[in-house]
Amino acid sequence: MEYIFKSKPEFVEPIRVLFLCGTNFNDNDSDKRIAIEKILKDDSSNRVVILEKYFNFSKKGDKKSFLSYYDINLFNLYNIENLAALTATNVIIIHESISTAGELAMFASNTNLQGKIITLVPEKYSVEEEKVSAFLSLEFWSKKQTILKNEVIRFYPQIKKVGISKDRNTYYTYFPNNMFPYELGNQLKSKIITQQTTNMRLFGVGYKRVNADITYTKDTYVNFEYAVFKNYVFSLLSIDEFRCKIRQCNRIVELKNLFKSMFIKMLKNTIVDQNKEVKGKIKIRFNNQPNLNFDNALFFMIYIMHACNLIHIKNEDDNLISVDIRKNTSEIFKSYSVLIQPIVQKEWGD
């Protein structure tokens, strides 16, 4: 059976993707991101994404526990974190270092992300330093023109002093009893977008012109809002036969090709259903994201599905993988199913 994508003026996204950033991740209870993840996972709609838990840049070595960015043709953190932030409902940054200041500046400079950002910062008297510099404060939280609408959340960590050199120390911070304080948890939850509603209107289709008079007919250009693209990709998981094909994939390249061929096929079907012509290859572009590559966005979305516990990709021996559909996802897939529609073959004479 073949399908098309449907319009949905006020589609309520069934899950919230919460991208959680910080410094020096350790996958144990003392890590602040693990403590925050625990309190956010109380709500089953929240899917907390900590990239370091699932992915790395390894080509060899320990690939059993991690999926490699190289396998989906992503080679730098800028592109990876930008994709994660665009996909997220909210971006939560624990800002304590130069690296997290860089993340904050990168995300906050993108107008599509400014309303998503939530910043947590240790109280300056706890770490003997103000982490929100005068520059950051004037840049993003100026009283006259606030770029980031969410005010900074201050927390009071416990401190472990670590010597870097004879004359310099740094601080490792953690929450008391490795638990995110209840009051701060409520404060954080109050800033999370509780209901992400997306106008799933169908994309703009056009054909590149050589000059003002001649239409260049080689390729078909399709423009997407990124949120619309994300939800249509997620909606593929609502198709029973597609999930069966996912389980049959033994290599990452097979999984990538399956998602790409299905998405492009449904896109072509949808364009034809709108009584428009598909000329040459379909080329996908994203509104306000001129440097965003379609393949990178699509393949990263597969990894996000893994991190969001919708599918599970396991590394096996000899560069093989196994793919399973996670339990307790049927209601989520049902919510996404409103975005697709089977093509009904008309009988001759209808």
Per DSSP, the residues of 78-128 read HHHHHHHHHH-SEEEEE--SHHHHHHHHHHHTSTTTGGGEEEEEE-HHHHT
Domain range for residue 153? 14-196
Q: Are residues 20 and 58 in the same domain?
A: yes
Q: Is the pLDDT of residue 97 over 60?
A: yes
Give the pLDDT confidence score for residue 148 in this predicted structure.
60
Give the pLDDT confidence score for residue 89 in this predicted structure.
97
Task: Kindly indicate the confidence band of residue 307, based on its pLDDT and cuts at 50, 70 and 90.
Answer: very high
Q: Is the pLDDT of residue 137 over 60?
A: no
Q: Is the pLDDT of residue 306 over 50?
A: yes
Q: Are residues 149 and 47 in the same domain?
A: yes
Q: Are residues 82 and 227 in the same domain?
A: no
Q: For residue 193, give the amino acid letter.
A: I
Q: What is the CATH number of the domain that holds 73?
A: 3.40.50
From 295, 332, 247, 270, select the one nearest 79 (Cα to Cα).
295
Q: What is the pTM of this model?
A: 0.89
Q: Are residues 87 and 229 in the same domain?
A: no
Residue 81 to residue 22: CA distance in whole angstroms:
12
Token couple for 58: 């390894």
Residue 52 to residue 22: CA distance in whole angstroms:
10
Q: Is 159 exposed, middle or buried (0-12, 13-18, 19+ CB in 10 A)?
A: middle
How is residue 343 annotated by DSSP?
P
Q: Is residue 349 part of a domain?
A: no
Q: Are residues 84 and 231 in the same domain?
A: no
Are the beta carbons of 136 and 108 closer than 8 angstroms? Answer: no
Q: Are residues 48 and 185 in the same domain?
A: yes
Q: Are residues 165 and 265 in the same domain?
A: no
Question: Of 172, 196, 220, which residue is a domain's last?
Answer: 196
Q: Is residue 350 part of a domain?
A: no
Q: Are residues 250 and 170 in the same domain?
A: no
When divided into structural domains, the chain yields a total of: 2
Residue 173 to residue 127: CA distance in whole angstroms:
8
Tell me which of 114 and 318 has the higher pLDDT: 114
Q: Are residues 188 and 76 in the same domain?
A: yes
Question: For the residues 171-179, what does the mean pLDDT come to?
Answer: 86
Q: Is 323 exposed, middle or buried (0-12, 13-18, 19+ CB in 10 A)?
A: buried
Q: Is the pLDDT of residue 146 over 60?
A: no
The pair phi, psi for residue 310, each rounded to 5°, is -95, -40
Give the pLDDT confidence score for residue 159 in this predicted structure.
79
Give the pLDDT confidence score for residue 149 in this predicted structure.
64
Q: Are residues 41 and 153 in the same domain?
A: yes
Q: Is the pLDDT of residue 350 over 80?
A: no
Give the pLDDT confidence score for residue 135 in this predicted structure.
43
What residues pair up with 154 in beta bridges, in sequence order? 121
Q: Are residues 43 and 131 in the same domain?
A: yes
Tell me which of 277 and 208 has the higher pLDDT: 277
Are the beta carbons of 321 and 314 closer than 8 angstroms? Answer: yes
Most confident segment among 143-147, 157-161, 162-166, 291-295:
291-295
Question: Of 146, 176, 196, which residue is a domain's last?
Answer: 196
Give the pLDDT confidence score for residue 95 in this predicted structure.
87
